[in-house]
């Protein structure tokens, strides 16, 4: 297994773990918990710091090696995986926007889910969720492309 594969796997696991922590703080079952904004700010900052710390540890463990080379295949895989991640982010943002706007426009609209972006907890959850989803798709794509 290449170092970049190991890094992607570790990063995937830590990303899911940190997002799991975030969901535990934000959700009660499948519904968002209404919380005061200072509490949400604390959750947001803690989550971002956890993401940064875990990524630094992953990079130190798997990428900080003298003489570690990256060649054209590594760059190609990285580029294709980033493209997939960005595509998913764009698609997810558009889905969220569509649901929010359709709910406001059509009184009889009954979508698969309800999204209220006027509440801070909903905004935080959906935006961070979209970013995490993009990261997960990027890491999974990297692992798949290395195995193909």
Give the footprint of another protein on this chain (CB under 8 A): 2, 69-74, 146, 148
**Minimum distance from CB of 64 to another protein (Å)?**
17
By beta-carbon proximity to another protein, the closer residue of 5 and 103 is 5
By beta-carbon proximity to another protein, the closer residue of 47 and 84 is 84
Rounded to an integer, what distance in angstroms lies between the CA atom of residue 47 and that of residue 124?
11
- Strand positions, DSSP E, 6-148: 27-28, 31-32
Counting Cβ atoms within 10 Å, is residue 45 exposed (0-12), middle (13-18) or buried (19+)?
exposed
Tokens of 16: 């899911």
Q: Helix, strand, or coil here: 68?
A: coil
**Minimum distance from CB of 12 to another protein (Å)?**
19
By beta-carbon proximity to another protein, the closer residue of 28 and 72 is 72
**Minimum distance from CB of 146 to another protein (Å)?**
7
**Minimum distance from CB of 70 to another protein (Å)?**
8
Rounded (10°) CA dihedral 134, 140, 143, 145:
-70
By beta-carbon proximity to another protein, the closer residue of 2 and 140 is 2
């Amino acid at each position: 297994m290449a170092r970049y594969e190991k890094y992607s796997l570790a990063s995937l696991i830590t990303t899911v773990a940190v997002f799991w922590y975030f969901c535990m703080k934000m959700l009660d079952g499948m519904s968002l918990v209404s919380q005061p904004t200072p509490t949400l700010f604390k959750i947001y900052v803690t989550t971002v710091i956890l993401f940064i710390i875990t990524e630094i540890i992953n990079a130190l463990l798997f990428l900080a090696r003298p003489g570690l080379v990256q060649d054209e295949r590594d760059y190609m895989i990285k580029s294709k995986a980033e493209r997939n991640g960005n595509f998913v982010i764009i698609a997810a943002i558009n889905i969220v926007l569509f649901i929010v706007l359709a709910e406001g426009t059509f009184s009889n609209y009954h979508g698969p889910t309800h999204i209220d972006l006027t509440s801070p907890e909903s905004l935080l959850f959906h935006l961070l969720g979209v970013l995490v989803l993009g990261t997960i798709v990027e890491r999974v794509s990297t692992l798949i492309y290395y195995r193909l």
